[in-house]
Amino acid sequence: MGKMLKAGICGIGASVPKRRILVEDIIRNWNNTSEEFVKNGLGVRSRTVLASDEDIITLASRAANLSLKGFGLAPINLDSIFFGTATSSELFRGNGNMLMETLTGNSNYFSSDIFSADRSGTAALITSLGNVSSGLSRYSIIVGGDVMCRHTAPGDLRESYEGAGAVSCIVGTEKVIAEIQGVQSYNSNFPEMGRPEDERFIRTLMPMEEGILKEGVVRHVSNALSMYLKKYNKTLNDFDEIILPQQYPGEVFQLSSVLQIPKEKVRNSIFSEEIGDTGSASPLFALMKTLENIEEHKHILLCSYGHNSGADVIGLETTDELLKHQGTIKKNFEEIFNKTIMTNYSESLKLEYKLVAPNVSIGTFN
């Protein structure tokens, strides 16, 4: 097949629901956790709320259009799509095909759905990179996204910070804004969370305690990082920005402390205070936030973690092309964070179709 081509991200766009709910509104209805802990410990003030006509496909379609527009590429020129999500509305048909149907009438493309917990977004990016680098595709589009709020049971301890969102990237070899220079993964079967067949809501399969966090996200991310640095003969000092898993802002700073990474290298990726956990979109969202203000020829280390799915590490270097895209990225973020609609808990239950009893034992004081 010949020499592998250098490839990277050529365009990027994000989409989240406009509706928001304050964390205290949810907590007051259940009294199952501390408002101070969620707001000051986890660092989340509000989360997104899905409208009744929104799902992962509608969010992905908006994000994909923004990434295509940012790069200036017509959808008909896409050769492949890799769609990463763990909260699909469709469990049989191809989500990638449904998304492409909203973008173009062209049927000459390769499509694949990536299902790998909340690291599905980076898994899609790595798969797309291989497709483009090998020459199988000239332009590939990827999506990482989840609607965590619709798949978190009412009364669940995570309900106050589980949001929704999608990020799309164009991967190619021309006019690259962030060249991908290396990848590494570390995987094992550690069942923290799951969603059994015929079950709508994601369940925690283990207590959310310090020991589980150490065995889960800390062990996987730490090993993936060490393996990446050894593989490419690098140190953490070689990177200007380091992006860590971000269900909520507090997780980033907890991990940076454990991994002995200076806070100034991780703080520019923080985005989830107002929109909550976006699942598979989270690492790509953090990357986009980092790209918003970073200079050219800077090095970024992107780390993602999927519960019971492992960790990915991706090394990138920004290029001169990024400067042409930063205005578009800023405009995208202005729309996400400024054009919002506040709602209340009773309305959110209706919009997210959560006026149901979860198939788990959740008491009024849990």
* Residues 185 and 124 grouped into a single domain: no
Whether 356 is in a domain gets the answer: no
Structural element, H or E, at residue 230? helix 219-231
Average confidence (pLDDT) per 10 residues, the chain, 366 residues: 82 98 96 93 97 96 97 97 94 92 95 95 98 97 98 93 98 98 94 85 77 83 97 97 97 95 96 97 98 98 92 98 97 96 96 84 50
What does the angle CA 149 – CA 12 – CA 247 come to, to the nearest 5 degrees?
Answer: 30
Q: Which pLDDT value is given to residue 106?
A: 92
Write the Ramachandran bin of 2: left for phi over 0, alpha for psi from -120 to 50, otherwise beta. Answer: left
pLDDT of residue 361: 60
d(CA 135, CA 281): 26
Q: Is residue 263 part of a domain?
A: yes
Q: Are residues 87 and 210 in the same domain?
A: no
Same domain, 331 and 280: no
CA dist 300 and 289 (Å) reads 12
User: Does a structural domain hold residue 187?
Assistant: yes
What Å distances lie between residue 55 and 16, 45, 59, 149, CA to CA?
Answer: 10, 23, 6, 11
Are 12 and 156 part of one and the same domain? yes
Q: Same domain for 270 and 341? A: no
- In this structure, are 311 and 200 located in the same domain? yes
> Do residues 167 and 46 share a domain?
yes
Residues 25 and 126 both lie in one domain:
yes
Q: Which helix (H) or strand (E) holds 305?
A: strand 299-306
Do 21 and 33 lie in one domain? The reply is: yes
The pLDDT score that the predictor gives to residue 2 is: 57
Where is the domain boundary, 318, 339, 360?
318
101, 292 Cβ separation under 8 angstroms? no
Q: With respect to residue 83, please indicate whether it lies within any of the assigned structural domains.
A: yes
End position of a domain, from candidates 277, 303, 318: 318
Domain count, the chain: 2
Residue 364, in any domain of the structure: no
Angle between helices 322-338 and 56-71 (to 10 degrees): 150
Judge whether 1 lies within some domain: no
Please give the residue range of the domain that contains residue 340: 8-178+322-351
Kindly state whether residues 161 and 193 are assigned to the same domain.
no
Pull the structure tokens for residue 364.
Answer: 């009024």
* Cβ atoms of residues 178 and 291 within 8 Å: yes
- Whether 143 and 212 map to the same domain: the answer is no
Q: Are residues 52 and 162 in the same domain?
A: yes
Q: In this predicted structure, what is the pLDDT of residue 365?
A: 42
Q: Kindly state whether residue 61 falls inside one of the protein's structural domains.
A: yes
* pTM reported for the whole predicted model: 0.95
Place of tokens 């590490």: 313
Residue 362 domain-assigned (yes or no)? no
CATH number of the domain enclosing 199: 3.40.47.10
